[in-house]
Structure 1
Amino acid sequence: MAKPVIMTVDDDPEVLQAIARDLRQEYGDRYRVVRAESGATALDALEKLKLRNETVALFLADQRMPQMSGVEFLEGALSIYPGAKRALLTAYADTDAAIRAINTTRVDYYLMKPWNPPEERLYPVLNDLLDDWSASFSPPFEGIRVIGNRWSPHSHSVKDFLARNQVPYEWMDIELSQEAQKLVEYAECDHLQLPLVLFPDGTSTLQPTNTQIAEKIGLQTQAGKPFYDLVIVGGGPAGLAAAVYGASEGLRTVMLEREAPGGQAGTSSRIENYLGFPVGLSGGDLARRAVTQARRFGVEIITPQEATGIRVEKPYRFIQLADGSEISCHALILALGVSWRRLDIPGVERLTGAGVYYGAAQTEALSCQGEDVYIIGGANSAGQAAMYFSRYAAKVTMLVRGDSLTKSMSQYLIEQIASTPNIEVKVHTSVIEAKGETSLEAITLQNVLTQETQTVPANSLFIFIGAQPATTWLDGIVERDERGFILTGPDLKREERRPKGWNLERDPYLLETNVPGVFAVGDVRHNSVKRVASGVGEGSICVQFVHQYLSKVL
C-alpha cells in the first residue's frame, strides 16, 4: 500500500517549506508529505489523490490565507476525506476563530505559530492525532475500481472480462454509492459515459474495450514471435491441456483466447465430477490452475485475441487475427469450444447485459441478493448455476421445457436441487417474452402443454439453452457438419473415401481435420462428449498426433 498522506497548506512559501521539512523529518518514513500553497490548489490535489485511491491521514492548514481560510479549506476537505484528522496552524490573534472551528466544523486541534521546537510543540500533538487515525483506519481496496450502472451492458462486460481473467476489482454502483458519485464528479465524467474504470496508477478510462483493459493490466495481447511449432486457438479446458502437454514436450507453443482462459467451463460455479477434486472446484479455479501450469512450461497466452481466418502454404499454417496481424506454425489445434445458443424471443436481445445474461454471470450474483432469479435450462450448467445463485437470491426458479431434469442433468445435481429449499423447478415451461425499458422488469411464461401464459416480475434471467460452435470463419477450409461442428478422423470418411483434397498416403489421425496438421479437440468437435474431463483428455492426447504429424513433415 502507498504511504498515507499528510497534507500541509500555507500561502507563505517560507512557512510552508519549514513545516513540510519538519513533517518529513519526523514522519517521512511512514507518511508522504504533500504541500499546497492555497486551499483551492489543495482541494484540486485531493480530488486527484481520491481518483488514485490514495489515503489522507492528516490535514494541517494555516488559518489566515487569502481567498480561502484554513477553516474553509478543512470544511471542503471533509467532504473528500471525512476520516482524516484536521488541524489548524494559527497566530495568537486567530485563537478565537480556531476554537469556534473546533466547536462547529469538527477541526480536531489547533497549533500556535511558531511551533519551535517541534519536538515539544508540534510532534506530540500530531502523534496523538495520527495514533487516533491509525486505530480506526481500514486500508482501501488497492486494485481496479469499476464505476457503472448495474443495468448497463457495457458495465457488465467490463466486470465479466476482469472476473474471468482472474483480475481483482471493486464494483461501485453509481446509483447506490455516494463514493462512486463523487469519483465520477472528480473525474469530470458524464454519467451517460459509464463505466469509468480507475486503475491503481491513477489513470482512468471511460467505456474501455476488453483489449484496452488487457493492455493496461499487463495481459499479453500480441504474439511475441511470428512463428511457432504449435498454435492453439481457444483457451478452454481442451486448449489449456493441449498447451500444457505441447510446451512440456518441447514445442514452441502459443494459445489464442478471444475472451478469457477457461472458456465456457471457466464460468461454471462448481464442477463436482472432475477426477481428483472430491469436493469440487469452480471453473475459475480450474482455469487459474491450468493457466499457471501452462505459463510455467513457457506457453504464450494471448488474450483477448480472436482468430478470423486460416490459410495453408506447405508446410506452414497461417492464422489471421482480428487486429490484422498474422502468425504461422507447423501445427494448429482448434479448441474453439462453443457459445451459448441465443434465445430468439421479443425483448431478450435488447435487454442482454441489463438483466438478461447468457451463462452463469457470477459477477451479478451479489446484485441479486434477496431477489428472485430465473434460470432457463435443465442441463448441468443450469443446475450448477441454480445452486450458486441460491446462496444469494431469495428464490431461484428453474424453467424447464421437458417433464423433468433427469434426461439432461447428473443425478448428484438433481438431488442437491431437490434438497435446496429456495430452488423451484417449473417443468413444461418456456419464456416467450422479456419486458422492460432500460432493464429487465418482467418475463412472460408459457406452459408448453396447455399454452397458458402468465407474466411475472423479474430482474435477473440467466439462459442455458444449449450451445453452438463459432466456426463460420473456417468456411471453405475446414470441413464441418450441418450444425457447424468440426469433423475429424473417421468422421471425415464418406463411403470409405478420404476427404476431398487429402493428398497424404495415410488416413487423417483421430483428431485431425481434413487439412493435414490442423486438429480439433473439445466441444467444437463433431460428436465429442461435452464434459470437462473429456476436453482435457482430447487436448492431452492430441499433442501425440501433433508429434506424429511433425515427424513426417519436418
Structure 2
Amino acid sequence: MDRSDAHICPAQSGINGQVRLDPHDTTLQYLKVMHLVPSFGYAAGGPTEDIAMTAHGTGSGGMDGRDADAFPRLDDDMLQRLARYGVEEDVAEGTVLYERGQRAPDFFVVVKGSIEAFEHDAGGVLRTVTVHREGQISGELDTLTDREIKVSGRAGPGARVIRLRRDQFRSMVSFEPDIGEVVMRAYMLRRARILKTSVGGLIIIGPAHGGDTQRIRRFLERNNYPFALVDTETDEAGLAELESFNLSAADLPVVMTVRREVLKNPGAAELADTLGLTERIEPGHVFDVTVVGAGPAGLAAAVYAASEGLDTLVIESLAPGGQAGTSSKIENYLGFPAGVSGHELAGRAQAQAQKFGARLSVSRAAVSLDCSGRPLVMALDDGQFVMTRSIVIATGARYRKLVLNDYARFEGQGIHYAATHMEAQLSAGSEVVVVGGGNSAGQAAVFLAASASHVHILVRGEGLAETMSDYLVRRIEQSSRITLHARSSITALNGGTYLEEVIWHNSASGVDRNLRVSGLFVMIGAEPNTDWLGGCLPLDAGGFVLTGIDAGVAPDAGGTFATAKPGIFAIGDVRSGSIKRVAAGVGEGSAVIASVHQYLAPPLTEENA
C-alpha cells in the first residue's frame, strides 16, 4: 500500500494532555504505512500467530537450546511438586486467565490443552504472541513484579491448569529452587524476545537526534520496555501525516501506546504511569528498609534485604543500573570473563531482587527526608510519602558538566553522558570526542570505535595510566581508530540545532584544533546526589555522605556504613571515601544489610532484655 492510499482518521481529545485515537479508525493502516508492520507483526485483519516470539515453541518439531529454555516443559516430578502450592482446575475454552494491564497476575502451568497468550495491537487486531502447551508455564518478568503485564492469556480447548496466586508463586520459587531457576531463566529470555519483537510495545514518533526523543528512548531502553521509532528526520511523509492526528512538528516527539493514547513529549513520570511501570505505594504502609537508588550498590542491598525477609522498597528516579547501567561493557567484573554490559547486569540484579519480593518504584525521586522521628518519612517528587524503619542511601553520583558557552543548548543535542547502542547509532560513521580519563570514558571510547569513523579522547593530564584500568589503556593504544590527546581541554562548541563542531586547546603545544563531530561524550568527575537530604546528615567537603568513624559513629554502633542518624546508612558512590567501582558498590550493598538487621533487631542485653 502506498502512502497516498492510507486514510488517517483524526484523533479525539483526551484528558491530562493526552490524545486518544478513535478506536474505530484505521490506525493500523497508518502503522503499516510507517513501515512498522514487520517489527510489530501487525496483520491486515483477523487473528494471526507471530512465531517470532515462539520460534519452534508452538510446533511439534524440536527446539534449539534457547527455545527450550525460553519455553520449557516441566517434567512430571516438577508438576507434582508445583501442584502442592496451588490448585489444579479445568478451564472452559476462551476463559481469560490474565489481561494486559493487570498487576500481580496468577501463574499458570498447563496440564492439558493450551493457553494462548495474545495482544491487541494499535489497530485493534488480535494477535497471538505464543501458545503454551502441556507442561509449559505462563508469564514473563512482570509476573514477578507489581508492574502491569503486557499481554493477555486465554484457555484453549480442553484446558486443565495449575493455578498459583502471587503469594503461592513466590513461595514456590523460594522453596523449589530447581523449578525457580527454570522459571527465572525462561522469564529472562522471554523478556529479551519481547524487546526484540516489540510485543506489547509502543511507538515513538520524532527526530532521532532530538534531545527529547533520545530521553524517551533512553528511559524505555533502560527500563526494558519494547518500542519502535519512526524517525521524522528521514521520513518527511510520515511527519506530514501527523496533521491527520491534529499534531504538528511542535508536538514531537509523541508516543503512541497500544491503548491508542498519544502522549505529547511525555516526561519520565508520565511515561511510567501510563505504561504501568511504577508500583503503587500504599498510604500508611511502613517498610522495613527503603533503598534510595537502584545502581549496583542499591540493587545488591535490595537483593540481600528481600532475600532475608525484610519488607523492601527501592526508589529510583530514572531506571535501574545507575551510572554503571550505561556502560557498554564491563570486562573486569568477577564472574563474567567475556564481559557484561551495565544494562544487562542491572536487569539481572533487578529480576533477582524482585524474585525475592523487593518492590521497585521507577521514575520517582526522593525530594526530602524527615529524620526527626520514627518511622522515617521521605517525600517523593509526585507528592507521595514513604514511611520506613530504615533507609539505605545509594543515590550515587553524576558526571560533572563542562563550563562552556552553549553547553546547555547542546545537551541531548549532541552532548551525551553515556555511550549505549542508541548513541552509537546516532554517531555512526562520524568522528566523536570523549572527555575523561576514567574507566567509563575508556569503555565508551572502545565501544564507540566500532561504529564511529574515529574517536578522540581528551584528558588534561599526561595520560591514562594513573586513572584507567590497564586492559583499557592497552586496548586504546592498540586501536587505529582511537587517538588520545593529553593536556587538552575543550574551549568552544558550535552548531545549529545539533552540535556540529568542537574546538579544543592543547596546553603543551599551544595549538587549537577544530573538529567536525556528531557527538561529545562527557565523563568527568563526580557530583553526589545528596541535595534531597536537606541537611539531615553531615556531608564531607565534596557533598558525599559521611559514615562510620568519620560521622562520629562508634564501630559497634552501626558499622562502616552507618551515618550520624541511627537507622540511616549510605553505600556506593554517594558515600564519602568509597571506592568508585561496580564491584565495590555491590560489596557494600550486600554488607550493609547486616547493619540494617542489627539496627532493626538489636541483640538482647541486660538493658533491653
The TM-score bracket by the shorter chain reads 0.7 to 0.9
Instruction: Find out whether 1:197 has 2:247 as its counterpart.
Output: no
Q: Deviations over 1:101-136 (max 9, x none)?
A: xxxxxxxxxxxxxxxxxxxxxxxxxxxxxxxxxxxx
Counterpart of 2:467 in structure 1 is 408
In 2, Cα distance between the equivalents of 1:191 and 1:320? 37
| Cα deviation, residue 450, structure 1 | 3.8
Relative to structure 1, is the Cα distance of residues 535 and 141 closer, same or farther in structure 2, using a 3 angstrom cutoff?
A: closer
Counterpart of 1:269 in structure 2 is 328
- Conserved? CA contact 1:436–1:442, under 8 Å: yes
| Cα deviation, residue 56, structure 1 | 5.2
In 1, Cα distance between the equivalents of 2:222 and 2:33? 27
Percent identity between matched residues is: 36
Instruction: Find out whether 1:153 has 2:211 as its counterpart.
Output: yes
Relative to structure 1, is the Cα distance of residues 550 and 279 closer, same or farther in structure 2, using a 3 angstrom cutoff?
A: same
Q: Deviations over 1:436-460 (max 9, x none)?
A: 1211011111012343222221221
Match of 1:246 among 290, 295, 305: 305
| Cα deviation, residue 407, structure 1 | 1.0
Instruction: Find out whether 1:355 has 2:414 as its counterpart.
Output: yes
Relative to structure 1, is the Cα distance of residues 149 and 492 closer, same or farther in structure 2, using a 3 angstrom cutoff?
A: same
Counterpart of 2:507 in structure 1 is 448
Read off the aligned partner of 2:221 and give its amino acid letter: A
Relative to structure 1, is the Cα distance of residues 45 and 344 closer, same or farther in structure 2, using a 3 angstrom cutoff?
A: closer
Match of 1:299 among 338, 346, 358: 358
Instruction: Find out whether 1:548 has 2:606 as its counterpart.
Output: no
Read off the aligned partner of 1:358 and give its amino acid letter: Y
Instruction: Find out whether 1:467 has 2:526 as its counterpart.
Output: yes
- Once the two structures are superposed, the pairs formed by residues 78-157 of structure 1 within 5 Å of their partners are 142=199, 143-157=201-215
In 2, Cα distance between the equivalents of 1:55 and 1:425? 48
In 2, Cα distance between the equivalents of 1:43 and 1:215? 27
| Cα deviation, residue 419, structure 1 | 2.1
| Cα deviation, residue 544, structure 1 | 0.2
Counterpart of 1:437 in structure 2 is 496
- Once the two structures are superposed, the pairs formed by residues 368-407 of structure 1 within 5 Å of their partners are 368-407=427-466
Q: TM-score, normalised by structure 2?
A: 0.66
In 2, Cα distance between the equivalents of 1:539 and 1:330? 18
SS of residue matched to 1:451: coil
- Conserved? CA contact 1:396–1:424, under 8 Å: yes
Worse-matched range after superposition: 528-537 or 225-234: 225-234
Counterpart of 2:266 in structure 1 is 208
Relative to structure 1, is the Cα distance of residues 483 and 44 closer, same or farther in structure 2, using a 3 angstrom cutoff?
A: closer
In 2, Cα distance between the equivalents of 1:58 and 1:258? 41
Counterpart of 1:535 in structure 2 is 585
Please list every run of 5 or more consecutive structure 1 residues that lacks an aligned counterpart in the other structure.
1-6, 10-40, 60-80, 82-138, 500-504
Larger relative helix fraction = 1
Match of 2:346 among 287, 290, 309: 287
- Conserved? CA contact 1:488–1:512, under 8 Å: yes
Read off the aligned partner of 1:442 and give its amino acid letter: E
- Conserved? CA contact 2:286–2:375, under 8 Å: no
Read off the aligned partner of 2:203 and give its amino acid letter: R
Instruction: Find out whether 1:516 has 2:575 as its counterpart.
Output: no
In 1, Cα distance between the equivalents of 2:306 and 2:253? 38
Counterpart of 1:167 in structure 2 is 225
Read off the aligned partner of 2:567 and give its amino acid letter: G
- Once the two structures are superposed, the pairs formed by residues 180-195 of structure 1 within 5 Å of their partners are 180-181=238-239, 184-195=242-253
- Conserved? CA contact 2:396–2:572, under 8 Å: yes
- Conserved? CA contact 1:221–1:305, under 8 Å: no
| Cα deviation, residue 361, structure 1 | 4.8
SS of residue matched to 2:347: helix
Counterpart of 1:525 in structure 2 is 575
- Conserved? CA contact 2:368–2:533, under 8 Å: yes
- Conserved? CA contact 1:166–1:284, under 8 Å: no
Counterpart of 2:174 in structure 1 is none
| Cα deviation, residue 434, structure 1 | 1.1
| Cα deviation, residue 281, structure 1 | 0.2
Read off the aligned partner of 1:168 and give its amino acid letter: P
Relative to structure 1, is the Cα distance of residues 43 and 540 closer, same or farther in structure 2, using a 3 angstrom cutoff?
A: closer
SS of residue matched to 2:432: strand
Q: TM-score, normalised by structure 1?
A: 0.73
Match of 2:543 among 484, 501, 506: 484
- Conserved? CA contact 1:374–1:397, under 8 Å: yes
Please list every run of 5 or more consecutive structure 2 residues that lacks an aligned counterpart in the other structure.
8-23, 47-122, 124-195
| Cα deviation, residue 283, structure 1 | 0.2
Instruction: Find out whether 1:457 has 2:516 as its counterpart.
Output: yes
Read off the aligned partner of 1:543 and give its amino acid letter: I
- Conserved? CA contact 1:264–1:339, under 8 Å: yes
Worse-matched range after superposition: 535-544 or 157-166: 157-166
| Cα deviation, residue 282, structure 1 | 0.0
In 1, Cα distance between the equivalents of 2:25 and 2:410? 44
In 2, Cα distance between the equivalents of 1:526 and 1:395? 37
- Conserved? CA contact 1:146–1:171, under 8 Å: yes
- Conserved? CA contact 2:371–2:536, under 8 Å: no
- Conserved? CA contact 1:375–1:397, under 8 Å: yes
Counterpart of 2:288 in structure 1 is 229
In 2, Cα distance between the equivalents of 1:412 and 1:233? 33
In 2, Cα distance between the equivalents of 1:221 and 1:254? 10
In 1, Cα distance between the equivalents of 2:526 and 2:446? 21
Over aligned residues, Cα RMSD in angstroms?
Answer: 2.7
Q: Deviations over 1:315-371 (max 9, x none)?
A: 311111111211111111000110111111112111100011123254221121111
